[in-house]
Amino acid sequence: MPFMAVNDFFSILPAAVIALFGCALLLMRFEGGRVYPMFVVVGEVLAGVGLWRQADYVGLVGFQGSILVDRFGIFFNSVCLAAAVMAAIGAYRYLKGKDEDHPEFYALILFAQSGMYLMVSGTELMTVFIGLEITAISFYALTGFLRVEARSNEAALKYLLLGAFSSALLLYGFSVLYGLTGSTRYLTITSMLANRLPNDPLILLAIVPIVLGLLFKVAAAPLHMWAPDAYEGAPTPVTAYLATASKVAAFGLLMRLLLGPLHEFRPSWEAIVGVAAIASLTIGNVAAITQSSARRMLAYSSVGHAGYILLGLVAGNQAGIEAMLVYLLVYTLMTTGAFLVLAAMEREGVDDFRGMLYTHPGAAMLMIVFLVSLAGLPPTAGFMAKYTIFLALIEARQHWYAIVGALYVAVSLYYYFRMVREMTRTPEDGAVGVEMSTGWRAAVGTAAILTLGLGLNPEPVFAWARSALK
């Protein structure tokens, strides 16, 4: 059936383009290395065109129900694509400084992204598992990319051991789900599970490992232990990518499963998600206070942000799910931006920001925009994202969750503004150097403008998120 083959191919077109560009990168060897990020951008633009074209073919099913083209997937893939572009552009100077500017780095970024495509567009257990593993294995290698640095090795090893453990757990849940339904396709699973009670203990045997495994991947407490270590030891552009894109893709998979085949079993997973959300808020925000490394501080804060995003799932209504999408997009912009500012700096302690507003006003201003947005203050997009989450919680009559979430915003103000305060102090001798390439300026500048602009006029994001859920 040749027509089928066209459908199949079109359903994975963006991932195929990205993976092919990744393979081509592996064969390259250029002096200077500036070609690699440019090549990545070309591939991403083509993949973006593919995603954009897919919007006209919503509902297309590829590979007998394994891949679904829909606006939800397009939304998540676009966010991952933005993160990959920024990471690749931001990595150029960083890798050059470390004398590690190999094409494999950029290839791995692309391979990870093709895995993310399968994670969020896959509607079949095998497909999403393969996607998850492509992403994870690429990230293990990226985290340990600085071979001669023991910290990078150590971060990669810790990430790999805990990541493989969580994959095994998730897979065990998948196998039970397959055993209960006799199918790996979401649609068949949904119809086979329809006649089971919402609190069936056998379903629990599938749901608990699946939800725990995915909470691991989004770095929600108490399963976040790998995140601070991996974020701190990895090359900084990888941290920017890991903290955003891999989290976004894992959330995409989590939402597709929990709001799809497992939606009727909400009583079974609601408690786990609620506890994880509150634990993430607490551990993320409290542990961030005492950190002296800016990267570790942002790592803990990203655990806290996972908590806020999970609150949208706790609310569970239309507004809550919409708020999750908005939050994920905003989170990606501000977190990638903040980590890329760190990537441009020589040293990454909180103290090293001292006097930066006088020595490097441009970079300092960008960082302040991201920090204000991360803290959730108006007029930035971070405020809009948090506000919609709280609004959804109140609409769903989950007042306590909203109150706890709002309290932790106050806690987070302290540690974000510790950095801002350092920046405004008088500079000392040996102030930190900041190296910015043209591409870096463009990428981080765009992220900052969007962070501010979407705070002033959030309507386009909301409209996009709403259409993604139709």
Partner 1 sequence: MSLAPVGTGHYLVLSAALLAIGCAGLLLRRNVIVILMSIELMLNAVNINLVAFSGHWRHVTGQVFAIFVITVAVAEAAVGLGILIALFRNRGTVLADEIDLLKW
The stretch among 4-12, 148-156, 345-353, 449-457 that binds partner 1 (CB under 8 A) is: 148-156
Rg of the chain, C-alpha, whole Å: 21
Residue 352 interacting with partner 1 (CB under 8 A): no
The stretch among 59-67, 115-123, 224-232, 372-380 that binds partner 1 (CB under 8 A) is: 224-232
Instruction: Verify cis geometry, omega within 30 degrees of 0, for the bond prior to 361.
Output: no
CB of 161 to partner 1, least distance (A): 6
Residue 148 interacting with partner 1 (CB under 8 A): yes
Residue 192 interacting with partner 1 (CB under 8 A): no
Decide if 439 contacts 89 (C-beta within 8 A): yes
Residue 156 interacting with partner 1 (CB under 8 A): yes
Stretch (H or E) spanning 66:
none
Which residue from 137, 257, 363, 450 is in contact with partner 1, where contact means CB under 8 A? 137
Residue 182 interacting with partner 1 (CB under 8 A): yes
Residue 154 interacting with partner 1 (CB under 8 A): yes
CB closer to partner 1 out of 161 and 456: 161
Residue 184 interacting with partner 1 (CB under 8 A): yes
Residue 95 interacting with partner 1 (CB under 8 A): no
CA atoms lying within 13 Å on the CB side of residue 103: 17
Residue 238 interacting with partner 1 (CB under 8 A): no
Instruction: At 289, list the tokens.
Output: 């206070």
How far apart (Å, rounded) are the C-alpha atoms in residues 277 and 293?
Answer: 25
CB of 129 to partner 1, least distance (A): 7
CB of 178 to partner 1, least distance (A): 6
The stretch among 21-29, 139-147, 248-256, 362-370 that binds partner 1 (CB under 8 A) is: 139-147
Within residues 267-326, the interface with partner 1 by CB under 8 A covers 287, 290-291, 296
Decide if 377 contacts 406 (C-beta within 8 A): no
CB closer to partner 1 out of 178 and 387: 178
CB of 290 to partner 1, least distance (A): 7
Decide if 317 contacts 277 (C-beta within 8 A): no
How buried is residue 61: exposed, middle or buried, by Cβ count under 10 Å (0-12/13-18/19+)? middle
Q: Which residues neighbour 425 within 8 Å (Cβ) at sequence distance 6 or greater?
A: 354, 355
How far apart (Å, rounded) are the C-alpha atoms in residues 140 and 115?
Answer: 13
